[in-house]
Amino acid sequence: MSARRQLSFDDRGTPLAEATLVVVDLETTGTDPRSDAITEIGAVKVRGGEVLGEFRTFVDPQRPIPAYIASLTGITDASVAGAPSIGTVLPMFLDFVGDAALVAHNARFDIGFLSAQAAACEITWPKPQVLDTLALARTVFRRDEVRDHKLSTLARHVGAGITPDHRALSDARATVDVLHAIIERLGAAGASTLEDLGTAHRRATTAQLRKKHLAADVPPVPGVYQFLDQHGAVLYVGTSRNLRTRVRTYFTAAETRRKVLDMLPRAESIRVIECATPTEAGIRELRIIAREKPPSNRHGLHPEKAHWLRLGPGGQGLRAARLARPEDDGSAQIGPLTSRHDVEPLRGLLTDAILGRGTALGGGAEPDLGSGGHRDRIRRAMLEDPTEVLDHAAARLRAHVDAGRYEDAERLRRLVHGYLTAARRASRLRALAAVPLLVAARPSTEAVIGGRGWELLALRHGRFSGTTLVPSGKDPLPFARSLEMTGTGEAELAAPMCQGYHQEAEILLAWLEGEGVRTVLVEGAWQVPARARFDQEHLARRFSRTARGPEA
């Protein structure tokens, strides 16, 4: 008989007494994360039953608050006047959350709004673990004990110290008391870790339990994991900072994605690739997905397929393009766009702004860009300065708002944000693709021999070519010289605007824009493109000026 292996801390999970939780509640202008906005955020950070801090702020929804919402919450247009926008608040809230798990009552609503607003503001959503006290309460408090599972009912039932009143911080405080009552009940039933709490209202499937042994030998390191079928074909690819912890979640009730649950019965083995850093793992994951086309992955299968809005050279106008091309002939392009359906609306926005609304695309005719410097102005709006487009859009937004056409205003706002996002993506990719070699260093987030050190990253024309960790106190230059000799073949695969590998380039750009990054070696010139030119807040500032008149 083999000896029983002692469980590690990774196997056991995070003890509830040591888990940091942020209980959050939102007030909003409505129920649709795609069209409504947040008006207030309240949150309480707790650990081991102790309150560590609180977060509360109004948020300017940049639209009128409906009367029935104001009546329900007491939050009026006057309440949020002068409050910061969500683009300002969200980074502060995420900093407050840190590495904690998020808790909410009906978490789909609150987390749905937060993640949707992060996407709209181009803020990376960290995908924290989420606990839903509504789902947990339905498991813990049966209908013969409580008449329903509304927050107000549960707070009264558990003797919460505060009564929910549809204000964010009050409701978050009440949810804390409900959460602690739930933990007390589940603790008596054997739940002792954060992972236990996260899956208490679910059960693993038969296939998950039958295949659980596949994760037995996965190491606790950064890297890439691949689920393989009986013939060795790749079914699914993923990445994690801790392969062991991540892979084992696939065989628990925490995994609910249909594509994964359908894949697991066919999985016969798991192959892992250990990586020096999470950045390397992310790049390898993209390349494996592009090469193997795993049937259970949905993103990254065809990196060569992209959509651009291109201003052709000479007398050519604005056109949809599938391939990015050099711009030294006077052409310009922005993208990659989310969809080919974005091309025509963006084309209309740019031509309307430069040629005048109603004249740009009249009768389906190609707009005349050859006179009045129109072509140069469009090119400048695509490459350098969005001010002319934003002034045009801000005036139209003000007209819509003043006339009460809020749906039209929201559609225009989304279109302008799409333009800014496409132009900003292009400016960053353009700059990175032009650099033959860049070796940079930043403080490592991974353990290095002797303690913390430096993470070195080498790239060529926006393609990853190598990485290494340097112990603290060591001279990074010899390590950089070694990286300089690696990945020389990547330069042969380079393309304008990182065409065909833009997802990889954007991972590298995010790394280069991190805290404490230093350039160690560079061929050519490299400078992180300024964000302010195509920042989403730029539109908000131009719109605010229209309220004071054009002379303000």
Identify the burial level of 486 via C-beta atoms within 10 angstroms of its C-beta, where 0-12 means exposed, 13-18 middle and 19 or more buried: middle
Residue 469, phi then psi, degrees to nearest 5: -105, 135
Residue 408 structure tokens: 């039209």
Side chain identity at residue 524, one-letter code: G
Contact 59, 86 (CB under 8 A): yes
Contacts of 143 (CB under 8 A, 6+ apart): none
Q: Determine the Cα–Cα distance for residues 271 and 489; give it in Å rounded to an integer.
A: 26
Contacts of 115 (CB under 8 A, 6+ apart): 33, 125
Side chain identity at residue 274, one-letter code: E
Helices marked H in 189-222: 194-198, 206-211
For residues 466, 426, 339 and 344, what is the CA-based torsion angle, rounded to 10 degrees? -160
- Quick one: DSSP state of residue 434? T
Catalytic residue among 166, 180, 201, 307: 166
Token pair 């959503």 is found at 125
Q: Determine the Cα–Cα distance for residues 159 and 173; give it in Å rounded to an integer.
A: 12
Q: How many CB atoms lie within 10 A of CB 481?
A: 12
Under DSSP, is residue 83 helix (H, G, I), strand (E, B) or coil?
coil
Q: In which element (H, E) is residue 234 found? A: strand 234-240
Contact 213, 269 (CB under 8 A): no
Residue 329 structure tokens: 């002939």
Please, how many CA atoms are within 13 Å of residue 105, restricted to the half-sphere of its CB? 29
Q: Of 162, 194, 242, 200, nearest to 22 (Cα)? A: 194
Q: Of 229, 223, 228, 269, nearest to 243 (Cα)? A: 223
Identify the burial level of 393 via C-beta atoms within 10 angstroms of its C-beta, where 0-12 means exposed, 13-18 middle and 19 or more buried: buried
Q: Is 213 a catalytic residue?
A: no
Q: Determine the Cα–Cα distance for residues 160 and 163; give it in Å rounded to an integer.
A: 7
Catalytic machinery residues: 166
